[in-house]
Amino acid sequence: MPVNYRFIMEYSYLKLYYLHMLAKKIIFYNQKGGVGKTTATLNLGSALAELGYKVLIIDFDAQRNLTAAISGNTNLPNIYEALIGKVDIKNTIQPTLIRQLYLIPGSIDLAGLSMELVDENKREFFLKKALEQVEGEFEYILVDCPPSLGLETMNALVWCEYVIVPLQCEYLAMEGLNLIMRTISNVKKKLNKEIKVLGILFTMYSKRAKLNQEVVEDISEFFPDLVFKTIIPRSIRLAEAPSHGLPINYYDKSNKGTRAFDELAKEVVNRV
């Protein structure tokens, strides 16, 4: 084979390999509090790891709920320290008890991130810049956003490729969703043309609650291509698992929440 053909083939192969190793970049975003963002980040992360993918989950919330749910240690190098340049991002990556699942811990200092970066240019691009160095090492990176549209969330929106919107099936869900869609569309126009909604994820669903059913029907009718088929049921075991430091698939293998996150992981893999 002529040398230049061989070079082109090897180059294409390398490029394919490199693209394969570039992580799928997903954030969990809803500025409303308590809708299941952290629960979904942890349990989807663990379900993807169970499918054999190498997954990094990042706690980007000053409440540190994700960190608390999987790691008891509060003194680890964290995402805040990486963003302000105190530690190398590579040194913040922690293994967890779960094979193939890694964590970058959060910090209560994230609450002061906008003050810390007040004199910096392009403050919304700090996460993107920091994560560039580790994106080749994982197949999925999932970021748990705080319940606000502050600087952390803007950084996550600028960095990501995909947004999963966890939604509780309750009164005013549609209004909240419209606001989220508008924010994403503005970000797409001005800061990140790659961003897309991967799916709307109904959470804490109870078959017996008529309002839950109605909200699912209304939103599915309005956004038929966006809603995930998988609906996360309300389950006490899902709420208990974090206090044992475990994702649901390790805490209660036969729980309906485990089955739901397994199904969700397969849907996500098919959609990205």
Ligand X SMILES: Nc1ncnc2c1ncn2[C@@H]1O[C@H](COP(=O)(O)OP(=O)(O)OP(=O)(O)O)[C@@H](O)[C@H]1O
Distance CA 167, CA 169 (A): 6
Distance CA 211, CA 205 (A): 10
Residue 168 as a binder of Mg ion (CB under 5 A): the answer is: no
| Minimum CB distance to ligand X, residue 29 (Å) | 10
> Is the Cα dihedral 90, 83, 79, 126 positive or negative?
negative
Residue 168 as a binder of ligand X (CB under 6 A): the answer is: no
DSSP string, 93-124: -EE-SSTTEEEE---GGGGGHHHHTTT-SSGG
| Minimum CB distance to ligand X, residue 38 (Å) | 3
State which residue, 77 or 106, has the beta carbon closest to ligand X: 106
Residue 37 as a binder of ligand X (CB under 6 A): the answer is: yes
State which residue, 100 or 203, has the beta carbon closest to ligand X: 203
State which residue, 91 or 206, has the beta carbon closest to ligand X: 206
Residue 136 as a binder of ligand X (CB under 6 A): the answer is: no
- Can you tell me whether residue 11 is helix, strand or coil? helix
Size of the site for ligand X (CB under 6 A): 18
Residue 152 as a binder of ligand X (CB under 6 A): the answer is: no
Token readout for 93 is 């990556």
Q: Which of 111, 183, 182, 185 is nearest to 151 (CA)?
A: 111
Q: Among Mg ion, ligand X, none, what binds residue 234 when CB lies within 5 to 8 Å by partner kind?
A: ligand X
Residue 38 as a binder of Mg ion (CB under 5 A): the answer is: yes
Q: Which of 238, 242, 239 is nearest to 257 (CA)?
A: 238
Distance CA 259, CA 253 (A): 8
Residue 108 as a binder of ligand X (CB under 6 A): the answer is: no
Size of the site for Mg ion (CB under 5 A): 3
Distance CA 51, CA 268 (A): 12
Residue 34 as a binder of ligand X (CB under 6 A): the answer is: yes
Give me the 212-251 binding string for ligand X, x by CB under 6 A, dash otherwise: --------------------x-xx--xx------------
Site residues (vs Mg ion, CB under 5 A): 37-38, 65
